[in-house]
Amino acid sequence: MLTIPNKLLLGSATAATQIEGGDFNSNWYHWSLAGKIANNESSIVAADHYNRYPEDIQIMSELNQEIYRMSIEWSRIEPVKGVWSQEGIDHYKDEMTMLLKNGIQPLVTLHHFSCPEWLQKEGAWVNPNTVERFLIFAEKVVLELGDLVSEYCTINEPNVFVTDTYMDGKYPPGHKDDIKSYFKASKHLILAHLKAYKLIHRLRADHKFTGVTKVGIAHHLAHFEVDSKNPLTHLSKKLMDFSFHDLFTKGMIEGKLSMPLGVGYPEGQGRFCDFIGVNYYSRHIIKSTMNPAMLFGEVTVDESLPESRKNDLGWEIYPKGLSIILKQLYKDYPIPIYITENGIPDANDTKRAQFIYEHLKELVSLINDGVDIRRYYHWSLLDNLEWNDGYGPRFGLVEVNYNTLKRTIRKSGKFYGELIKHRNISEEMKQNYNIKDVSYE
């Protein structure tokens, strides 16, 4: 039997662009018009969550979820520069109210990859003025949501965002190997978080909003290993760790800028996270490369892995990597940890329950060893638009039929709901859901 400590709250996560639909003012809608999403798909339908959120919250309640991480779509709040949409504001207030009535505590992400098209046209995060525009947006959201939300995640996966936007060309505006923009945008994202951290605390204190204010980030932490003893390979791994991990942990947690972003502490020394959100999916094998534009080396997967050890996107399933990165993270920064994303694309739903079980085993072991882990948000509640990969990858605890938009709770979703209700995984549950104790070495 695996028993879940009471301190570890369980729920799910989503992002607005990926599930809401109906937003014509987002840069991702315009990106889809240019045919940049797989199969010429668009964000305009998604799972229609914007209209169906009462149904989806009811499903969350049926699955006994305690917490929910969601994002606010900036382009719904400020569709035109300097113009606020009361309809968008009221919508999110209604959604938060319904979550709370169902006993589900929201964690709100302010920037989850997307932005208004007007901001994209101004250069988005390579433009230093975006820092101030983000703060204006953040202030509006915090003041409008007031007592409804006390926990905020400022920026989601800044490292993935700048990599896919300025190096791999997958996100708008689709730059390739643009190292200068990579670092410029990274600096502005870090500054935006540091300033927003202070702003949110000040606003909620000044207005005496209820609830303990908690502000953090959601940082994608991957477990990197090298494929050989070649010194160049080890150098590639160090460069990858520095540019993909360390720049952002030091910047957003400590407030310290590292070269080439800058030096010193622009907002002063201290701690700029009340929790550290960790998004974890896989282990990555690093190979060296002679391409000077590829600071990161070449990221690969062990080709000898059996299909049972890979998800539908070909990523390795490696629960042990979660323990490895969290042990080091908590050693460096003894701050409460939220697992803000952890999930698997699994259209046939044959691996998801096992995936949840194995990763929760790692978390429970870490908690028993003294690591302060307080939240687990499974990615994702619903099948969703997986950004440039379109609607093919199926991450949802709940299946979405994109022709009818009908929701169907998957067997793994029922497993997760039962786990939350009973706070343990009994031998009977393991048999019912075909859960095995396996080694991922």
Active-site amino acid positions: 157, 341
Among 275, 361, 293, 283, smallest CA distance to 325 is for: 283
Strand partners, 341: 279
Phi, then psi, of 25 in degrees rounded to 5: -105, 0
Look-up of token digits 């798909």: 41
CA distance 213 to 181: 33
Beta strands in 114-205 (DSSP E): 151-156
Using an 8 Å Cβ cutoff, are 15 and 71 in contact? yes
Half-sphere exposure of 336 (CA within 13 A, CB side): 14
Q: How many CB atoms lie within 10 A of CB 90?
A: 11
Dihedral sign from CA coordinates of 328, 276, 155, 315: positive
Among 370, 360, 361, residue whose Cα is nearest residue 330: 370
Alpha helix (H) residue ranges in 15-85: 16-19, 27-33, 49-62, 74-77
Q: Which residue in 290, 281, 392 sits closest to 342, CA to CA? A: 281
Distance CA(264)–CA(269), nearest Å, equals 9
